[in-house]
Each structure stands twice: as C-alpha cells, then as structure tokens.
Amino acid sequence: MKIACWSGPRNISTAMMYSFANRADCGAVDEPFYAAYLAMTGRVHPMGEEILASQPTDPEAVIAALTGANPGGLPHVYHKHMAQHMLPRIRRDWIGGMKHILLIRHPARVVASFSAKYENPELAEIGFTQQAELYDQLLAEGHAPVVLDSADVRADPEGTLRALCDALGLDWDPAMLHWPAGPKAEDGIWAAHWYNAVHGSTGFAGAEGPMPVLEGAGKALAEAALPSYERLAPLRLRA
C-alpha cells in the first residue's frame, strides 16, 4: 500500500511520518517534491541550496520514484507531502493508485507557528487552498481521501490512529504511538532547521492549549485560509 499524506507546514506531519515509519512493515518518504517546488518557484527557503542538492528537481523523476517499488521492499510506504508543493504544472494523473490522507490544522495555529520560523508567509505557502483542491480532485475521480485533524490525533492518539488504520484498510500496530528520540533515517536534509522539537519527542504531544491570538498580517492570513479549513473540518475522521 502507498499512503500519501497531504499536509501544510507546522502541523504534526513529521510526527505522523515517524508514527508510520515506526511500523516494521512501512517505509517513509519525506517531502519528495520540496526541491522541485523550490526550483520551479524560485522561492528562497532556509537551507534552500542544500535542499536543491539533496533531491531531484524534475517532478517526473519524483513521480517515477513514488510510483515505483516501496523503499526497502516493504509492504507499505508513507509519503509525507506538503500540499503547497503540488504546483499546477506538476501532473497528478499518478495519484489515483494511492490511499490519501488530508492532514489539517486550524489556520491560526499554523500561521502562529510558521511565522515564527518563516518571515511573511503567503496563502499559497501554507497549503490550505491546495488541500481543498486535492480533496475535490480525488472525490471527482472516485477516491475517498481521509480527512484527519491534528487536534484529534493529539487529543486521542490511539483512538484516532486506530480509526485511521481502519479507514485505510491497514492492520493496527501499537508501534505507531511511540518512536525513538533524535533524527531519523527518513528525515529530509531540512530537518536541521525545522525538526528540532519533534526530534526531542518519543510520541505525539498532548492536546493543544488555547487558540493563539493573531494581529495584523498574521490575522489576515489565517482568515484567508479559514474557508478552506472549514470546508474540510466537518469531514474529519472521528475515533
């Protein structure tokens, strides 16, 4: 089974990747279109040169790898994607053969966290509109993506992940609840900038606290993303 998880930044996307990679039967791939996205957009990101050197910049090469054999010959593979990396110029006719997860998080939380590490983000860089577009495409093609809210995973990791495995047709494995601290073999090279908090974890963090209060550009950005989030939130998986 190939599982494609489409998230935005500053979600629990890396923890989810670690969760699946900790299964003995599942490999993981970290943001395979990142270098292609940077090359095609010219955006300047932390560690950008290192990222461009670490991955194929041709999306066709990325697609060939994703649709080929699973890493290590394992039965399953988990592809951690950033939805904003799937630019309109990248063809999508290959995604139908996979199981899909749309991992969502309230935009106020995303904007508050992302803005602390990346200056002046734009709507196109936080993945919400792209997630809604992917949902519409998959539904139109007869697929049923699973919508998963990170708040539900953090509030009840076992119950929510059990429900997710059931929805995917995957046997439950309690190894998904914990992983060793520190860097992982599946990490992208950008982990040195972005993953310091999750490298200190051995499982999912507890339930989130109060919603952050945003002002100015951050507030406007969260409000612009909110309609896409509110479209998907009622569809989220329940434990």
pTM of the model: 0.95
Per CATH, the number for 2-235 is 3.40.50.300
Q: What percentage of the chain carries pLDDT values higher than 70?
A: 100
What's the average model confidence in pLDDT over 188-210?
A: 93
- pLDDT confidence band for 225 (50 / 70 / 90): very high
116 pLDDT more than 90:
no
CA atoms within 13 Å, Cβ hemisphere of 101: 32
Q: How many C-beta atoms lie closer than 10 Å to residue 119's C-beta?
A: 6
pLDDT at 123: 95
For residues 110, 55, 81, 209, the Cα torsion angle rounded to the nearest 10 degrees is -30
Contact (CB, 8 A) for 128 and 197: no
Q: What's the distance, Cα to Cα, between the start and end of the chain in Å?
A: 22
What is the spatial distance between Cα 43 and Cα 153, in angstroms, rounded to a whole number?
A: 31
Specify whether the CB–CB gap between 110 and 9 falls below 8 A: yes
In this structure, how many other beta carbons lie within 10 angstroms of the beta carbon of residue 202?
A: 11
Two tokens at 32?
Answer: 């395979």
Contact partners, residue 5, CB within 8 Å, separation at least 6: 13, 16, 17, 78, 79, 80, 81, 100, 101, 102, 103
pLDDT above 80 for 45: yes
**Most confident among 26-30, 109-113, 116-120 (mean pLDDT):** 26-30
pLDDT reading at 119 higher than 80: no
118, pLDDT greater than 80:
no
Q: Are the C-beta atoms of 32 and 66 separated by less than 8 Å?
A: yes
The beta-strand segments (E) located in 47-138 are 76-82, 99-104
| Closest to 66 in 3D by CA, of 58, 187, 20 | 58
